[in-house]
Structure 1
Amino acid sequence: MRTTFTRQTRPVRGVRSWWGKAWQRAVEEAAYSDAELRPGRTHARRGDVGAISIEPGGLLAACRDGDDAWTVEITIPVLDDAARTALVEVVAAESGRIAELLAGNLPHDLVEHAEEVGVELLPFGGELAATCTCPHYLDPCPHAVAVLIQAGWLVDADPLVLLALRGVGRDLLLAELHARTITPRDATDDAPVSADLADDVELVVDAAVRAARLLPLFEAGAELPDGLV
């Protein structure tokens, strides 16, 4: 599934999360030299990157450079079926992890636990492969660096963007968790399957949606709708 994000503006306080900073380090590793990093940062901060479309395994965006506009494609490896199953198990291993993700937080211990079972969530420089329609002879070129930097802003604000790039988007993750919670623990047990954990997942999703709607109103000092409280 492809999701398109509108044109980004530089975060006022910069990249603040540990996973957002890890993404930026990967971009620096991917760049051939500072000669690509410096103009790439300028393009990103100046707002030369257009809307960014994200889907499992990659992203697509255009970057303006003077009178020209170039198309950038970035690819990142997706998790295979075994890794995806392992990731779902890691998320489900401790209560509160799905709530943290939906609230825009990526627990450090979740990533460490995932790495222990062979699942790499955060990319390293060599995984960020880029192509651009510009004539630059190196990849990533400054336009690709700009797109990667702005993609990092999206990841910083919402770690589910990172999971989506790895092939485990929000809807898929919730569906896998829901399916897991209603699967019998013992196939020989004739007792009805409890759906309590599945109900918990639904409650977490509902709470996260309500919080996302209420927070902008709260910060603006507006009156909160009764239906959302």
Structure 2
Amino acid sequence: MTNFTLQASREWWSQRWLDLLDSYRFKKRLERARSYYRQGNVLSIEFKDAKVLAWVQGSEAEPYKVSLFLDSFSDEEWGYVIETMSHKSVFAAKLLAGEMPQKIEEVFTSNGLSLFPFTLGDVHGKCSCPDKAVPCKHIGAVYYQLGDHFSEDPFVLFQLRGRTKEQIISDLRNLRSNKNINLASERFIQEEKYTRQSSIYQHKYSIKIDEFWQYNEPLEPSLVVIIPSLNETVLDILGTIPLAKDEEDLGNSPVGDVIINYLQSVYKYISQKAVFAAMNVGE
């Protein structure tokens, strides 16, 4: 990629990388490095483990060999970083989708690390050119070229710290898979515990529907108050019952009175029987 990428179109992590180089005090050297980058003098660039290897065409016929690398994090440090990433679902989702989360630096700083180098001294560069300055214009051109690589693939930045894209995604998936298994196992244990407790409770306090309303123990006499019904019956509450014969209203006729009186005597008799039964008293 030889075309210059405008700052406004760069991804934030790519621009963050280039801002460090732009802070270099030797501006003339940076101008030459940027010119090499724009003109396509970086002939090839490849990644070998955590190191960048490149060939840069200089003023001589033979291109110069450039190597560049950062200090890699240890396996233990990467373990902490991956663990922290897995706790943040947004980070994990974006990384698994090949995107760089906006606040990815927080994952590293919370573990006492820095994804980006603090100074140019943290970027170790070596060039086969006779210029002993670091960075020389050839190293600077490769540095600018890396900004484009970071925009295309943010995992390149992680690779410079010792972890490839495949390793990070695999570690994240395994860790999140194990967590899901642990959560499912914990949920299963809780459900089993709840089931056992429910079974014990039901066995101890089992209720049979057909016996729910039964009470076979004698009642405490002092707590039982039985009040015989008053002379008033349901018939008194309902009032006169209309009795008709041949469409003639006989509700107040002697025949109606006989029927009403008979029903009232029946109700009174039944009420007395109910009181005797409740008091367990024979007739």
TM-score by length of 2: 0.58
Aligned match of 2:58: 65
Question: What does residue 36 of structure 1 align with?
Answer: 29
Deviation at 1:103, TM superposition (A): 4.1
Give 1:93-172 correspondences, 5 Å limit.
93-124=87-118, 125-172=120-167
Q: Which residue of 2 aligns with 1:46?
A: 39
Deviating beyond 6 angstroms after TM superposition, the runs of 4 or more aligned structure 1 residues are none
Using the TM superposition, give the Cα deviation of residue 135 of structure 1 relative to its aligned residue in structure 2, in angstroms. 0.4
Corresponding residue for 1:10? 3
Q: Which residue of 1 aligns with 2:14?
A: 20
Q: Which moved more, 1:76-85 or 1:100-109?
A: 100-109
In the alignment of these two chains, the number of paired residues is 183
Q: Check conservation: 2:82, 2:168, Cα contact below 8 A.
A: yes
Aligned counterparts of 1:35 and 1:11: Cα–Cα separation in 2: 18
Match of 1:79 among 73, 79, 82: 73
Q: C-alpha deviations, 1:34-66, integer Å up to 9, x for none?
A: 132110000001110022112343201010013
Q: Which amino acid aligns with 1:131?
A: K
- Deviation for aligned residue 1:12: 4.4
Name the SS for the 1:51 alignment partner: strand
Q: Could you list the runs of 5+ residues in structure 2 that have no partner in the other structure?
A: 190-283
> Larger relative contact order (C-alpha < 8 A, sep ≥ 6)?
1
- In 2, are the aligned partners of 1:27 and 1:128 still within 8 Å (CA)? no
Instruction: Tell me which amino acid in the other structure corresponds to 2:167.
Output: L
Return the TM-score normalized by structure 1: 0.71
- Distance (whole Å) between structure 1 residues aligned to residue 33 and residue 27 of structure 2: 9
Q: Using the aligned pairs only, state the percent identity.
A: 26
Counterparts of 1:122 and 1:137, CA distance in 2: 25
2:142 is paired with a residue whose SS is helix
CA distance in 1, matches of 2:3, 2:161: 24
| Structure 1: gaps spanning 5 or more residues | 1-7, 193-229
Q: Could you give the per-residue CA deviations for residues 112-161 of structure 1, whole angstroms, max 9, x where no partner exists?
A: 23212212111222211111000012111000000011011111222111
